Structures are given as C-alpha cells and as structure tokens.
C-alpha cells in the first residue's frame, strides 16, 4: 500500500522560467553596487547548471567557488563573494509564477488527504520552502528535503532520507528529470512516475536504461499490491487523479 509521495519541485510543481535568473542577478548586482552584465548572468547560469557534476551537496561556499572558478576559466576579472551567492539565493526564493495553476492545487488537495506528501529537491531547503509558502503549496507537505545535508539526487541517500520511516515500496517519486528523479528512485527500490513534460520518447528511455522489468500494464493492481518498484509515464499531473 502506498503511504508517501515524494515530489520534485522545479518544473514538476513550480515551473522555472529563464527570466528568474535575470531577475536574481540584476537585483543582486544592484544591492551590491556591481555593474550588471550579460557575462555575469551567463556565468551564474552555467555555474548552477554545472554544479551537480562537481559536488554532491549544495553549499553557499561551494557555489561561490564554482562562480569564481568559472570566472577564471572565462577570463572574467571579477571576484564573487559568499555574500553575492546568498543574495542570489534570496532573490531565487522570490521566484514563483504570478499565479499557480489551479489544477496543481486541486491535485495536491486530493493527494494529501490520502498520502503523506514531501518535497525532495536538488537545491537549498530554506529557499525552496519559501517558494512553496509563497505559492500556497507548503501546507500540503510534511517536509521539504534540500541538499545541504544530504547528497543530491540521484544518490540513494537522498531517497532514503525522503522515505523516512516508510518502506521503499510504500513510496512513489514523481519528477520531470529522468536521470535524477526516476533512475535515482528505481535504484533505491522506490516506485517512480515520470512527468514527461517535454514529450521525449519514454520507451526509448526505458530500453536505453534496461528498465523493462519495471514496467507493468496493470498499474492499479501494481500499486494496491505493492509489486514494487514500478515506473510509469504521465504527460500531466492531472493524470495522477486517475492513478492514485
């Protein structure tokens, strides 16, 4: 029997817009009396995108190091400080859509009455909790797990922390990143639902990663009998209403 649902956050529940990077960098530069430039913006974006290939936990110290290393590699004569990084994180925590899709609220309202809901995110816990609060989504979740203290997805440690006292087969991971969310969950013996927002070839992903054994045509029976783990693909979160 399923007891807990583990949600990814960005681009699963809250879409991340490229304009958020510009907003955060522009305001950080303004606060610190730094001349804003596209070079700084691009460096911040590239540093964050590359961070997970360099470190297995998020810290402001390491993120500042990545900023400075990339600045050096690109011959940018600028010294990033940890204060700059903390300012960036503050402004990122302000980045949410002007209006949350009512379908998301309806889905979470339905699910949290049946299951315990938690967030497992590859980002800073406090800032993500703020975004959830400002979006009106935080009350649906019992915990938000960031990656300052635990290793980032797809490391098993992240999923073991998220399941808590539940058994792996009593949990489902829902996320839009096949590598970190889905493979990470399956490798931790946790059920997984892939939110395929970009309409990639799901069957090709399954074949490429040798995951055929996790497919099951009778998903309702699979969920009720804990024949775990399984993997399922959906195009929209609204499909969860017919599955869970």
Residue 6: phi and psi, rounded to 5, are -105, 120
Distance CA 94, CA 86 (A): 13
Decide if 139 contacts 117 (C-beta within 8 A): no
Distance CA 196, CA 69 (A): 34
Entry pTM: 0.95
Decide if 63 contacts 123 (C-beta within 8 A): no
Distance CA 160, CA 188 (A): 8
Sequence-separated contacts (24+) of 194-203 with Cβ below 8 Å: 194/231, 194/232, 194/233, 194/234, 195/12, 195/234, 195/235, 195/236, 195/237, 196/233, 196/234, 196/235, 197/11, 197/235, 199/235, 202/233
Each residue's pLDDT, cut to its tens digit, for the chain (244 residues) gives 899 999 999 999 999 999 999 999 999 999 999 999 999 999 999 999 999 999 999 999 999 999 999 999 999 888 999 999 999 999 999 999 998 889 999 999 999 999 999 999 999 999 999 999 999 999 999 999 999 989 999 999 999 999 999 999 999 999 999 999 999 999 999 999 999 999 999 999 999 999 999 987 666 666 766 667 899 999 999 999 999 9
């Amino acid at each position: 029997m399923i007891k807990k649902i583990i949600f990814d956050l960005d681009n699963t529940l809250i879409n991340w817009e490229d304009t958020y990077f510009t907003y955060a960098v522009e305001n950080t530069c303004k606060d610190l009396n730094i001349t804003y430039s596209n070079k700084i913006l691009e460096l911040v974006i590239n540093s964050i995108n590359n961070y997970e290939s360099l470190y297995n936990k998020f810290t402001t110290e390491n993120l500042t190091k990545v900023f400075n290393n990339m600045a050096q590699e690109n011959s940018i004569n600028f010294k990033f400080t940890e204060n700059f990084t903390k300012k960036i994180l503050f402004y990122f925590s302000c980045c949410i859509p002007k209006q949350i899709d009512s379908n998301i609220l309806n889905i979470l309202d339905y699910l949290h009455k049946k299951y315990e809901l938690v967030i497992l995110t590859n980002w800073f816990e406090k800032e993500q909790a703020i975004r959830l609060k400002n979006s009106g989504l935080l009350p649906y979740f019992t915990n938000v797990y960031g990656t300052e203290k635990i290793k980032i997805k797809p490391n098993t440690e992240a999923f073991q922390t998220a399941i808590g006292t539940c058994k792996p087969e009593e949990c489902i991971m829902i996320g839009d990143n096949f590598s970190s969310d889905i493979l990470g969950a399956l490798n931790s013996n946790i059920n997984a639902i892939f939110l395929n927002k970009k309409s990639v070839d799901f069957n090709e992903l399954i074949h490429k990663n040798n995951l055929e054994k996790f497919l099951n045509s009778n998903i309702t029976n699979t969920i009720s009998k804990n024949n775990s783990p399984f993997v399922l693909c959906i195009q929209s979160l609204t499909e969860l209403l017919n599955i869970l």
